[in-house]
Structure 1
Amino acid sequence: MNEEAKYKKISILKEIAELLNEGTEVNSVLAEVLKKLLDVTGLEIGWIFLIDGNGNHQLTAHAALPPALTNENYHRMCQGRCWCVNRYHSRKLTKATNIIECQRIEEAIEEKAGATCGLTHHATVPLRAGEERFGLLNVGAPYKTYFEQDELALLESVAFQIGTALKRITLTQKEQETALIAERNRLARDLHDSVNQLLFSLSLTARAGVEMTEKVDVKQTFSYIQDLAQDALGEMRALIWQLRPQGLENGIASSLSGYAEMLGLSIETKVTGVMNLPGKVEEVLWRIGQEALANCKKHSQTLKVSLRLTMNENLVQMVIQDDGCGFYYDEKLEIPSLGLKNMKKRTEALNGKFQLESSPGKGTVVQIQIPV
């Protein structure tokens, strides 16, 4: 390797290190790192799988994948297992491995799924930081069936940097979530201590005005002001609940039961399993439950609602049901309201399943399933 080539290699590796050290958005960082890695190694094809704690893999970054792997919106890369993923799960894959025949490519050839552009093998290396593991880095090139030890050493070095960066980004996101919760709590306290107290004082003043005057029109005005103040107090209490749910420290069931009672609903709660939930999951269940209970109060024409929470080893399920007026809903059509769309979006953001059942006169059922 001449001096110019060595300088270019060192320069690109420095750029990779800077990207990983400064980046905060996982997908864009990994896409750029993969591009630079292929450039410095002279390889052409690469992809990165991120693998979560439940064993689900996600195609997070890729470059120059052949049509056999990209058609049908990357279906072959996003579904099923392969040898490298299986070895990752069995913990037999601990370092950069020389030549793994690509199972996904072999299946694509058998099924005549499209051109493979000469890709038959790839090197694979786990992304890790200490004992924590995050996924796999795979690279290959047309008709390349062997990787030298120095190539594998370079891949392993970059993969370790990626793993360290992913751990840093994860910790940063957790810190941001903690800061957001703290800010919500501060705002809730401020609203309670200022605006809430002012509205309460306004309500008392209006009530005193009603009792102090004999004029009918003045009494009516003060009564109207008192009603408005009471309505505003109710809205403010609901907003404070949204920012800082009372009882969440005692679990999601306690929090949602308290919120339902604050709305004036009669709630029947049943909990099965030990509810030791990750913070993200608990937050999503709270927000969805809150929306569902508010919908019941506004639209169902009933004050009775049931809440069922069930948790097993790897799944939590929440069902909120009322026996109210219901509405026409066809699951083949678009979800009819923004609130319901948000519930679905929040659920699917955690790889969960959202299900809605309703029909006129038969009430409404909202069911959420989220892996934990």
Structure 2
Amino acid sequence: MSPDPHGDSEAVRRRERRASAVARTAARVASERSLPATLRALAHEILQTDGLAGVQVLTNLHPGEKLHMLGIAGFPASQSSDFFSRLMECQRLGADLRMLDVFHSGERVVIPHRYQAVMSNPAWGPLHEYHRHPEWDAFASVPIKVRQSTIGVLNAFVSPGKEIDEEGLEFLTAMAEQAGLAIDYASLLEQERSAAQREERQRLAQDLHDSVVQQVFSMGMLTQTLKVLGEDGRPESLDRIREITADLQDITGSVLKDLRGLVAQLRPSATSGTGLRHALRELEAATHRQTGVRFRTSIGGIADDVEGDFAEDLYHVIAEAVHNAVKHSSADLITVTLELDEAGTVQLCVRDNGSQPGSSVVPADPQEGHGLSFMRQRVTRWRGELTIESGRGGAGTAVRAEIPFRTLSFTDDEAPRTSERQDEDLYD
């Protein structure tokens, strides 16, 4: 039988499309700063190149975390936020989760006629609506690896009437390698930021030792001398006591000056001169790059009016609420509102759209967790009130704070202390 020229030419064109897709993705990995944008584009490249029904890219940026779906094509993006939570529910019901087998074993897998098996099995019930459209048939899952460690999976849902041959599987593997490069690149950027922070802390520690520690040692020696002279009781010792007291006063002033300088360098971006509004933009951008979570913000003019410790505390309350939403909920959208109402009260709300039962910043233990406790301390420090609304009507979790801004005329010494910031407050 003579070879089919049409079949050969189609195979050549398919190989060319795949090679072009890998090349375009590689170029994007090298230039794109947003990991979610890179992985979404990668998923669409695969979908369009091989005519698949759907593509998923799931990864955990840090070991032990849940898998985040940072790339998706074919399936509605709006249904991806709680995908992993629903997948875990399917596992509890007894579903055979082959993608998790791939994640743990690092071996790729292809399963024919998977659609009917999934849709007819009640154990897959929590994901039936997600998987129903578009219709697909076979399923393939390929590990995403970085330096021999599996950090995610690339899932391909094959359209009815099509199949994944060895060349198709190699294409998916090549695209998984590009996904691994993108994830590794994002991780290296975070490591560079952390290394810079460590170097800065080491420099500050050296400054602290060279100035403050030595001066405090001198204060200790002078204090011991005062103790001896005080027990002496001779009138001529009074002149020496006065001299030492003056020296202690000078050293104390110098120590306080040095500490104020060091504390100013340790302040987060919210109070470093760029302002609260800029710091919140950076928080949102960094969180989106790392997790794919979207933000909807409404930041009023109050963000430009607050400064110093108050701005810093507002920033950390928002940052902690965002961190908890990303870590504990299935949310893909976080809404941040900060405004000043007519009564002169700062109204802050951080709400996520996580709808999975149990997804909440509120710890299971009735005793508050460390992060939630510090959020409350930062708010009550300014005579405000923190409330948590969790899971009402499937609306996710909302962290709310009300702080009387117009009555913030008291000094730092009058304001309640938080154990985390007590040392700083002593030198403000």
- TM-score, length basis structure 2: 0.45
For residues 129 and 357 of structure 1, the distance between their equivalents in structure 2, rounded to whole angstroms, comes to 37
Tell me the percent identity: 14
1:149 is displaced (CA, Å) by 1.7
2:66 to 21, 40, 56: 56
Q: Is the 8 A contact 1:99 1:145 kept in 2?
A: no
2:415 alignment partner in structure 1: none
2:21 to 12, 15, 35: 12
Q: Does 1:88 find its partner at 2:102?
A: yes
Q: Please list the CA deviations of residues 20-48 of structure 1 after superposition, one character each: whole Å capped at 9, or x if unmatched.
A: 34444321111111111222222241111
1:101 alignment partner in structure 2: 114
For residues 116 and 132 of structure 1, the distance between their equivalents in structure 2, rounded to whole angstroms, comes to 33
1:326 alignment partner in structure 2: none
Q: Please list the CA deviations of residues 295-331 of structure 1 after superposition, one character each: whole Å capped at 9, or x if unmatched.
A: xxx9xxxxxxxxxxxxxxxxxxxxxxxxxxxxxxxxx
1:222 alignment partner in structure 2: none
Q: Is the 8 A contact 2:139 2:158 kept in 1?
A: yes
1:160 alignment partner in structure 2: 177
Closer, same or farther: CA 137–157 of 1 in aligned 2, 3 Å:
same
Residue 57 of structure 2: SS of its match in structure 1?
Answer: strand
1:179 is displaced (CA, Å) by 2.1
Q: Is the 8 A contact 1:105 1:120 kept in 2?
A: no
1:140 alignment partner in structure 2: 157
Q: Is the 8 A contact 1:344 1:354 kept in 2?
A: no
Q: Does 1:340 find its partner at 2:317?
A: yes
Q: Please list the CA deviations of residues 175-216 of structure 1 after superposition, one character each: whole Å capped at 9, or x if unmatched.
A: 33202321354467679979999xxxxxxxxxxxxx9xxxxx
Q: Is the 8 A contact 1:20 1:165 kept in 2?
A: yes
Residue 345 of structure 1: SS of its match in structure 2?
Answer: helix
Closer, same or farther: CA 70–176 of 1 in aligned 2, 3 Å:
closer
1:95 is displaced (CA, Å) by 2.5
1:226 is displaced (CA, Å) by 12
Bigger Cα displacement from structure 2, 54-63 vs 229-238:
229-238
Q: Is the 8 A contact 2:102 2:109 kept in 1?
A: no
Q: Does 1:367 find its partner at 2:370?
A: yes
2:41 to 32, 54, 57: 32
Closer, same or farther: CA 226–26 of 1 in aligned 2, 3 Å:
same
Q: Give the aligned residue type for 1:95.
A: R
Residue 150 of structure 1: SS of its match in structure 2?
Answer: helix
Residue 142 of structure 1: SS of its match in structure 2?
Answer: coil
1:282 alignment partner in structure 2: none
* Structure-to-structure mapping, 1:226-265, within 5 angstroms: 235-239=260-264
Q: Is the 8 A contact 1:88 1:126 kept in 2?
A: yes
Unaligned runs of 5+ in 1: 198-210, 212-224, 244-297, 299-335, 359-363
1:156 is displaced (CA, Å) by 1.4
1:127 alignment partner in structure 2: 144
Closer, same or farther: CA 348–194 of 1 in aligned 2, 3 Å:
farther
For residues 18 and 348 of structure 1, the distance between their equivalents in structure 2, rounded to whole angstroms, comes to 33
Residue 26 of structure 2: SS of its match in structure 1?
Answer: helix
Q: Please list the CA deviations of residues 119-165 of structure 1 after superposition, one character each: whole Å capped at 9, or x if unmatched.
A: 24321111113421111101124325632221112111221232244
For residues 23 and 44 of structure 1, the distance between their equivalents in structure 2, rounded to whole angstroms, comes to 26
Q: Please list the CA deviations of residues 53-76 of structure 1 after superposition, one character each: whole Å capped at 9, or x if unmatched.
A: 22621111101216xx954x6434
For residues 56 and 40 of structure 1, the distance between their equivalents in structure 2, rounded to whole angstroms, comes to 29
Residue 154 of structure 1: SS of its match in structure 2?
Answer: helix
Bigger Cα displacement from structure 2, 73-82 vs 171-180:
73-82
Q: Give the aligned residue type for 1:135.
A: G
Calculate the aligned-residue CA RMSD, in Å: 5.2
Q: Is the 8 A contact 2:53 2:134 kept in 1?
A: no
Q: Is the 8 A contact 2:53 2:74 kept in 1?
A: yes
Closer, same or farther: CA 74–228 of 1 in aligned 2, 3 Å:
same
Q: Does 1:174 find its partner at 2:201?
A: no
* Structure-to-structure mapping, 1:255-334, within 5 angstroms: none
Structure 1 or 2: more strand by fraction: 1
Closer, same or farther: CA 122–357 of 1 in aligned 2, 3 Å:
closer
- TM-score, length basis structure 1: 0.51
Q: Is the 8 A contact 1:59 1:78 kept in 2?
A: no
More relative contact order, 1 or 2 (CA 8 Å, 6+ apart) = 2
Unaligned runs of 5+ in 2: 1-8, 215-241, 243-249, 269-308, 330-360, 373-428
For residues 126 and 324 of structure 2, the distance between their equivalents in structure 1, rounded to whole angstroms, comes to 37
For residues 28 and 73 of structure 2, the distance between their equivalents in structure 1, rounded to whole angstroms, comes to 18
For residues 257 and 323 of structure 2, the distance between their equivalents in structure 1, rounded to whole angstroms, comes to 28
For residues 29 and 130 of structure 2, the distance between their equivalents in structure 1, rounded to whole angstroms, comes to 35
Q: Is the 8 A contact 1:48 1:136 kept in 2?
A: yes
For residues 109 and 315 of structure 2, the distance between their equivalents in structure 1, rounded to whole angstroms, comes to 47
For residues 355 and 32 of structure 1, the distance between their equivalents in structure 2, rounded to whole angstroms, comes to 36
